[in-house]
């Protein structure tokens, strides 16, 4: 009872506790997967209904003007900017993370082709989110210009791999598996000192940890709105380009939304200036519109407050798991050092997959990543300290009672 009392007190003292009411979370669930798909803001349904009934149904084609659909991507970008240390007019919400990665990667290589054409290496991490590596493969394979992907095994290997052949470094700020976070400013400085460009994937950062793109002098950044930003399943992603580089090159997905005169239907492509040139085709407006509901919740708090709570939640989770489950073969993968930790915590266990399934059956939703990694995301907007206690209790129960041995938890499903 002493622990439960302490957790209740932590929740009572939590200045962000009221924000949980902004979300429609199912009863009886502890949701620790907001780093994969953020929970639903209550406002989303009304916003979608408005877009479907009024803007689409009643306004029809006229909504391009009357509902300002044509500027929605950049207006949402302006709302998102302050969460990632960018300025107004520098961010667009559009397309998917992967497509935005392709655009920025291609643009970055183009910049280097002018500055330092001998630089043909794209450097990334072996343990980066695989799609980031796939898109590098896709682009280099398309270009047939001698580009080569090289991978570091650990963040600390970066310095040794940087040399005068490296054109661009693509790193994910917070690793999707380990939860390791880079020092963006120091790492970008190191990359720049070696003459390369820095492209940051913020999928597991935006809305969860402090990001200061401009202060860190980053070159490009892309990220996701459906994780910690709670934009809705598959909601369009975002893209930011340093103003120093933005107008220096085209990005190759040169569609009509990125044209300088969007509705002029001119026969030749003429990119808009600023981040608007990173737009491409017509966006899925209902999914795009709901992004605003997630972003609006951040206006009720700030990143330092979110970060304080996130660290308190992850500290508590690590402490409770390690103290209560010490007799089980669990290994902490996530850095203990605050400066290197994102907003999720991963533990390895030889039966990680089945344990995660058994936990889900008990209403504690985390997820699993190969090999052996149980991943628990702590979204400071809607996770309580009592949630952390409930999750650890459930984990202990599954481990002590070996519930995970149940064959139904062993069967691999499409999505793990």
Point out the residues that are catalytic.
Answer: 129, 201, 226-227, 375
Nearest approach in angstroms of CB 326 to a copy of itself is: 29
Compute the radius of gyration of the chain from its Cα atoms: 22
Confirm or reject binding of residue 2 to a copy of itself (CB under 8 A). no
Confirm or reject binding of residue 116 to a copy of itself (CB under 8 A). no
The interface with a copy of itself within residues 388-407 (CB under 8 A) comprises none
Query: With contact defined as beta carbons under 8 Å apart, do 353 and 416 qualify?
Result: yes
Closer by beta carbon to a copy of itself, 107 or else 184: 107
Report the DSSP beta bridge partners of residue 256.
none
Confirm or reject binding of residue 98 to a copy of itself (CB under 8 A). yes
Q: Given candidates 77, 179, 236, 342, which one binds a copy of itself under the rule CB under 8 A?
A: 236
Confirm or reject binding of residue 280 to a copy of itself (CB under 8 A). yes
Which region among 77-85, 114-122, 142-150, 330-338 touches a copy of itself (by CB under 8 A)?
Answer: 142-150
Q: Measure CA 343 to chain center.
A: 11
Q: Given candidates 89, 255, 274, 363, which one binds a copy of itself under the rule CB under 8 A?
A: 255
Strands 238-241 and 364-365, sheet pairing: unpaired
Spatial separation of the C-alpha atoms in residues 192 and 198, rounded to whole Å: 7
Confirm or reject binding of residue 26 to a copy of itself (CB under 8 A). yes
Q: Given candidates 11, 70, 192, 311, which one binds a copy of itself under the rule CB under 8 A?
A: 70
Query: With contact defined as beta carbons under 8 Å apart, do 253 and 282 qualify?
Result: no
Confirm or reject binding of residue 49 to a copy of itself (CB under 8 A). yes
Q: Given candidates 10, 16, 19, 37, which one binds a copy of itself under the rule CB under 8 A?
A: 37
Confirm or reject binding of residue 131 to a copy of itself (CB under 8 A). yes
H-helix or E-strand spanning residue 38: none
Q: Per the omega criterion (within 30 degrees of 0), is the bond before 340 cis?
A: no
Instruction: Count residues binding a copy of itself (CB under 8 A).
Output: 92
Confirm or reject binding of residue 133 to a copy of itself (CB under 8 A). yes
Q: Given candidates 10, 93, 99, 359, which one binds a copy of itself under the rule CB under 8 A?
A: 99
Phi, psi (deg, nearest 5) at residue 180: -65, 135
Closer by beta carbon to a copy of itself, 3 or else 143: 143
User: What DSSP state is assigned to residue 151?
Assistant: E
Q: Measure CA 140 to chain center.
A: 24
Six token digits for residue 103:
């655009």
Residue (of 125, 222, 127) closest to 171 by Cα position: 125
């Amino acid at each position: 009872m002493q622990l439960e009392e302490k957790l209740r007190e932590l929740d009572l003292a939590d200045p962000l506790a009221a924000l949980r009411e902004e979300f429609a979370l199912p009863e009886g669930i502890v949701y620790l997967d907001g780093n994969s798909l953020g929970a639903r803001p209550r406002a989303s349904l009304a916003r979608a209904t408005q877009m479907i009934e009024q803007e689409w149904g009643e306004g029809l084609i006229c909504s391009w003007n009357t509902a300002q659909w044509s500027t929605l991507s950049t207006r949402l970008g302006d709302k998102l900017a302050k969460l990632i240390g960018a300025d107004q007019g520098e961010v667009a919400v559009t397309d998917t993370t992967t497509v935005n990665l392709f655009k920025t990667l291609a643009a970055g290589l183009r910049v280097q082709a002018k500055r330092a054409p001998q630089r043909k290496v794209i450097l990334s991490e072996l343990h980066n989110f695989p799609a980031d590596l796939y898109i590098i493969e896709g682009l280099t394979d398309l270009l047939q210009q001698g580009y080569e992907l090289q991978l570091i095994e650990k963040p600390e290997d970066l310095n040794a791999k940087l040399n005068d052949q490296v054109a661009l470094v693509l790193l994910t700020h917070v690793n999707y598996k380990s939860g390791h976070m880079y020092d963006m400013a120091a790492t970008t400085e190191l990359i720049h000192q070696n003459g390369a460009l820095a492209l940051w994937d913020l999928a597991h950062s935006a809305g969860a940890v402090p990001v200061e793109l401009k202060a860190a002098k980053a070159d490009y950044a892309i990220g996701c709105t459906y994780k910690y930003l709670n934009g809705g399943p598959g909601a369009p992603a975002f893209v930011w380009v340093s103003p120093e580089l933005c107008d220096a090159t085209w990005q190759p997905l040169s569609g009509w939304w990125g044209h300088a005169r969007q509705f002029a239907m001119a026969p030749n492509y003429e990119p808009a200036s600023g981040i608007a040139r990173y737009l491409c085709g017509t966006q899925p407006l209902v999914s795009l519109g709901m992004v605003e509901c997630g972003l609006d919740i951040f206006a009720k708090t700030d990143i330092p407050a979110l970060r304080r709570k996130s660290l308190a939640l992850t500290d508590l989770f690590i402490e409770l798991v390690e103290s209560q489950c010490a007799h089980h073969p669990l290994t902490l993968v996530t850095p203990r050092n605050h400066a290197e930790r994102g907003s999720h915590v991963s533990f390895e266990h030889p039966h990680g997959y089945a344990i995660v399934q058994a936990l889900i059956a008990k209403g504690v939703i985390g997820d699993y990543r190969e090999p052996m990694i149980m991943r628990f995301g702590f979204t400071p907007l809607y996770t309580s300290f009592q949630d952390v206690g409930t999750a650890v209790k459930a984990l202990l129960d599954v481990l002590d009672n070996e519930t995970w041995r149940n064959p139904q938890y062993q069967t691999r499903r499409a999505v793990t």
